[in-house]
Structure 1
Amino acid sequence: MPFASVDSMEEEKEQFAEVDPSGRFGRYAELLGHGAVKKVYRAFDIQEGRDVAWNQIQLSKFIDMPYVVNKIHSEIELLKNLKNDNIIVLYHFWRDKEHNTLNFITEECVSGNLRDYRKKHRRVSMKALKNWSRQILQGLDYLHTHDPCVIHRDLNCSNIFINGNVGKVKIGDLGLATIVGKSHAAHSMLGTPGYMAPELYEEDYTELVDIYSFGMCLLEMATMEIPYSECESLAKLYRKVTSGVKPQAFNKVSDKELKDFIEKCIGQPRARPSAADLLMDPFLSDVDNC
């Protein structure tokens, strides 16, 4: 059954900058965000009558960088198989050979990423921080207990998204994620400096690197400072991280329970709790399940 009549479809096309091959999704010119790899546009699902996000990558930019294209494909293939309330939903994807673009449609989180949202709302209660934390951990628990285990590897506040009207938090940008077998060991170094666990630099790690990154996300949520932003170079940041020196922002956390909880997350790998363990932690015990 067609999604719309020919006449109405033509009217829609006049409004949209682009329509997908099925005619279901229309892209507007308005940018929701952009990064090193992709642009994200506001879009509309004609069939369901809802706002969505149209992610578009110009593959011509990466003609000499096949690893970037592989990263994008990995994100799409991964998203396609993940179904969880705290993970961004993928609806559809395709490659446009004429324009040499890769496009995929995901749900739109109306309030953007958690970093920008936190900056916009400077007065946030401890209850709200706990609520966000619980939802992020629920998403991580789903990834880490997925068969096979999925490690995000690049969790930070710019790729955690929020629907602020209902307080729903979702993990996105799984392009650096890796799927590992029963050994739960991975061997490659990728991620965002400042959020990367020390063992990531050694290229021998487990899913607990995501717990470290989560701890740094919570530190940023609490202080509105990016971890290790005081470091003038990657070399200095690397030396601090690998020698166990905590970021300066950690000393700005005044609440002892919060500080202790963050410290658990960014501790040594063997002492680091799992997402499931953290969800049972007394620090989060007074927060209702989301």
Structure 2
Amino acid sequence: MQRPGNGGAQPPVIKGDPAGSDNCFPELVKFRMDKSEVLLTRKVSSGAFGVVWLGHYHGQPVAVKMMIDGEDEAVSFSREIETMSRLTHPKIVRFIGCTWTNKKDLGGVSEYMERGDVRTLLETRKIDLSWKKEKISIAIDIAEALAYMHSRSPKIIHRDLKSRNVLLNSSMVAKLSDFGLCRNRTYEETLTTGVGTVRWTAPEVMLGNDYSEQADIYSFGVVLSELDTREIPFEEKSSKTGSGTPDMAIVIKVAKGELRPSFAPDCPDVILRIARACLQFDPALRPDSQSALQMLNDARVQLQSMP
């Protein structure tokens, strides 16, 4: 996640690397960079699990995700870094390396995506977006990333696919990011993630059932609704209490298969068909990621042939 943040925030002080610190994260030693060569410039985003800084490494802009202090967070963050290190694909944010001086200041370094996340793009109303051009291109980029992840052995399930976790470079190429939840989650963890994640979550995950990579396909269908309407899913049905949490009635209806995200009246039929297939309640009825990618490529040809 990279969005304009508090440009006045001060980067953390980088201290010398104490002897023996390799033992903090032995599984990451081969990816370790000299922290003194990674210069932090300004904070671009923050979340529950860490802060992302714009930095520079050997003169090149990079994104540096720093975890919030705590050894518990370090364990999960080190797993995220390990996952990123195994993924090499043009539609996945490129992993560069990691830094640390102790168990509480682990940082992950990746390519910097200049145009921020897709959610911010969708909320910038002065920018025109169409299914013939930008929207279909972003959708295909995401599908390519999923097809790659799901083809790995063992398969890698993202589990947190949403527009905030899709970043754009200066050429408007979309790349998947934020692999912190590439692991099993309980039903309670899913519900307590709040509006940030639960509205994109597949029903089988909400219900605590066994799930597969098809859970990502459901989330992808929700992202297609975001691209279409430019709105947060179910925003028109949410509680206006201002509490920042989704209306539990929405969660219950989605988990029962009684509610799906909405689409605009002018959504192209070819996109609507793909989205509805991805949003099937039964995971077995959803297309796999390779099939979804093929359908989107066919849809692009059809859309671009229309007047």
The interval holding the TM-score normalised by the smaller chain is: 0.7 to 0.9
CA–CA separation in structure 2 for the residues paired with 1:116 and 1:58: 24
User: What SS does structure 2 have at the residue aligned with 1:149?
Assistant: coil
Q: What does residue 45 of structure 1 align with?
A: 57
Aligned residues: 257
In structure 2, distance between residues paired with 1:148 and 1:287:
35
Q: Is the 8 A contact 1:31 1:40 kept in 2?
A: yes
Correspondences of 1:199-238 after superposition (within 5 Å) = 199-203=204-208, 204-229=210-235, 230-232=237-239, 233-238=246-251
Aligned-pair CA distance for 1:257: 2.1
Shift of 1:24: 2.4
Structure 1 unaligned segments of length 5 or more: list them: 1-14, 179-185
Q: Any conservation in 2 of the 1:19–1:27 contact (CA below 8 Å)?
A: no
Whether the aligned pair in 1 keeps the contact of 2:67 and 2:74 (CA below 8 Å) is: no
Question: In percent, how many aligned pairs have the same letter?
Answer: 24
What are the Cα deviations for residues 194-222 of structure 1, in whole angstroms up to 9, with x where unaligned? 10010112331110110110111111111
**Alignment correspondent of 2:28:** none
Q: Partner of 1:238: helix, strand, or coil?
A: helix
Partner of 1:242: 255
Summarize deviations over 1:259-288 as a string: whole Å, max 9, x none. Answer: 222101111211100110012113244589
Decide whether aligned partners of structure 1 residues 24 and 240 sit closer, same or farther in structure 2, where only a CA change above 3 A counts.
same
One-letter amino acid of the counterpart of residue 149, structure 2: L
Counterpart AA for 2:299: F
2:289 to 267, 271, 275: 275
Q: Which residue of 1 aligns with 2:162?
A: 156
Aligned equivalent of 1:54, options 59, 64, 78: 64
Partner of 2:199: 194
| Aligned CA distance change for structure 1 residues 16 and 75 (closer, same or farther; 3 Å) | closer
State the alpha-carbon separation in 2 of the partners of residues 280 and 150 from structure 1: 20
Q: Find the counterpart in structure 1 of residue 20 from structure 2.
A: none
Unaligned runs of 5+ in 2: 1-9, 18-33, 240-245
So what's the TM-score if we normalise by structure 2?
0.76
Specify whether residues 187 and 36 from structure 1 end up closer, same or farther in structure 2 by C-alpha distance, changes over 3 A only. Answer: closer
- State the partner residue of 2:114: 110
Amino acid at match of 2:121: Y
Greater RCO (CA < 8 Å, at least 6 residues apart): 2
Q: CA deviation at 1:76?
A: 0.7
Answering whether residue 47 of structure 2 is matched by residue 35 of structure 1, we say: yes
Q: Which amino acid aligns with 2:107?
A: N
User: Contact 1:55 / 1:105 at 8 angstroms: preserved in 2?
Assistant: yes
1:96 deviates by 2.8
CA displacement at 1:258 relative to structure 2: 1.9
Tell me the alpha carbon deviations over residues 44-69 of structure 1, each in whole angstroms, 9 at most, x when there is no partner.
012xx210011111224xx6xx3x44
More strand by share: 1
Match of 2:274 among 261, 272, 282: 261
> Structure 1 residue runs of 4+, over 6 Å off?
none
SS at match of 1:143: helix
What TM-score, normalized by structure 1, do the two folds share?
0.81
